[in-house]
């Protein structure tokens, strides 16, 4: 919460994910380095939506490998 500096309630977090189209389905979270993805995983857990999977290597790892696909389009 921007005013209190505390996490939003589980209901508020669930509403945010719901509006983004994230329901109780399998989710893998990643980001540029793994830090923001951890916050997303925590939010999914708090909301009770599912058991998120964290790709902690995130883009830093994926983008540095020549054997993995990258879509530039």
Known catalytic residues are 31
Do 22 and 15 form a contact (C-beta atoms < 8 A)? no
Question: Tokens standing for 57?
Answer: 């290597």
Contacts of 57 (CB under 8 A, 6+ apart): 30, 34
The alpha-helical segments, DSSP class H, found in the chain are: 10-19, 35-47, 58-62
């Amino acid at each position: 919460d921007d005013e209190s500096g505390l996490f939003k309630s589980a209901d508020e977090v669930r509403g945010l994910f719901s509006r983004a189209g994230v329901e109780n389905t399998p989710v893998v979270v990643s980001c540029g380095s793994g830090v923001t993805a951890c916050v997303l995983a925590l939010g999914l857990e708090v909301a009770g939506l599912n058991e998120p999977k964290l790709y902690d290597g995130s883009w830093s790892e994926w983008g540095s490998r020549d054997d993995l696909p990258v879509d530039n389009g």
